[in-house]
Amino acid sequence: MGKLYVCATPIGNLEDVSIRLLKTLRQVDIIACEDTRHTLKLLNHYKIKKQLISYHEHSKPEKEDYIIKLLQEGKDIALVSDAGMPAISDPGERLVKKAITAGINLEVIPGPSALITALAVSGMDTTAFVFEGFLPPRSSLRRKRLEKLKEEPRTIILYESPHRLLVCLQDIESVLGKERKLAIARELTKIYEEIKRGSAAQLYEYYSLNPPRGEICIIIQGKAVVVETKSLPEIAREVEELLEQGMNKKEALKKKAREYGIKKSTLYNYFIDSK
């Protein structure tokens, strides 16, 4: 059998390629791409000539079956999207699942990802986050999805199209509240890369005057979690309760330190000294 290579491609700047990606694109038999014209720009830039077949969100199951058949016949195929990592908020997910079911070997060629790039420069908490992809285009459904995210304490990352950004910002403010901090990352790695931070209202005002273009990521601050404050003696008693329930000391101290937002060493030292 052949092998399916899942290849991340630049999200804007064509220089954001790895040596491994170029080597892979040169050695495979076929490249399955979202838009052949878009992929040709990358291939021509690096003087790579390969057979291309289109595979996108409107491709029928028969196209996926055809690609699987080629792999089963021994062809090595690179799967690429227009930008970033295939299968992430991308139809490539379907092909990957079918390849796994068919017993095809897969190899991932990691690289640029818009959601991670946007998060890194957002100024938001990167400890934990959730990726929601594109919200529904209809306002009623979009607000319904936002309602489900209302209590989400982790940073939220969305993709959005330029023509829906303003109505999306209105819904975010209406559902999540006026206090949420947002960052909008646009045209990442390109000449007109732009990162704007502020409230939904502030960003709405800016983009009303400066209509956005290009690919957009919206990063939303998670809901603030109000942590109940307790004294060290009270927390130490709760640690004792966990020990009595069978939890080991290390895990009990770690759990309560995280729960109350204090250093584990502070709680450990108090717990030991109080004995």
pLDDT tens string for the chain (275 positions)? 999 999 999 999 999 999 999 999 999 999 999 999 999 999 999 999 999 999 998 989 999 999 999 999 999 999 999 999 999 988 899 999 999 999 999 999 999 999 999 999 999 999 899 999 999 999 999 999 999 999 999 999 999 999 999 999 999 999 999 999 999 999 999 999 999 999 999 999 999 999 999 999 999 999 986 656 788 888 888 898 998 899 988 898 888 888 887 888 888 888 777 76
Looking at residue 256, what is its pLDDT?
A: 86
Q: What angle do CA 92, 96, 102 make, to 5 degrees?
A: 145
136 to 32, 178, 181, 237: CA distances (angstroms):
27, 21, 22, 48
Token pair recorded at residue 248: 């080991």
Which CATH number does the domain 115-220 belong to among 3.40.50.300, 3.90.25.10, 3.30.950.10, 3.20.20.150?
3.30.950.10
Looking at residue 160, what is its pLDDT?
A: 97
Looking at residue 268, what is its pLDDT?
A: 81
Task: State how far the Cα of 139 lies from the Cα of 145, in Å rounded to an integer.
Answer: 10
Looking at residue 195, what is its pLDDT?
A: 97
Long-range contacts of 257-266 (CB under 8 A, 24+ apart): 259/227, 260/227, 260/228, 260/229, 260/230, 260/235, 261/227, 262/235, 266/232
Give span(s): CATH 3.30.950.10, the chain. 115-220
| Residues paired with 78 in a beta bridge | 5, 31
Task: State how far the Cα of 46 lies from the Cα of 255, in Å rounded to an integer.
Answer: 52
pTM above 0.85, yes or no: no
Looking at residue 234, what is its pLDDT?
A: 86
The residue to which tokens 């273009």 are assigned: 213
Query: What's 3-111's CATH class?
Result: alpha beta
Looking at residue 228, what is its pLDDT?
A: 65
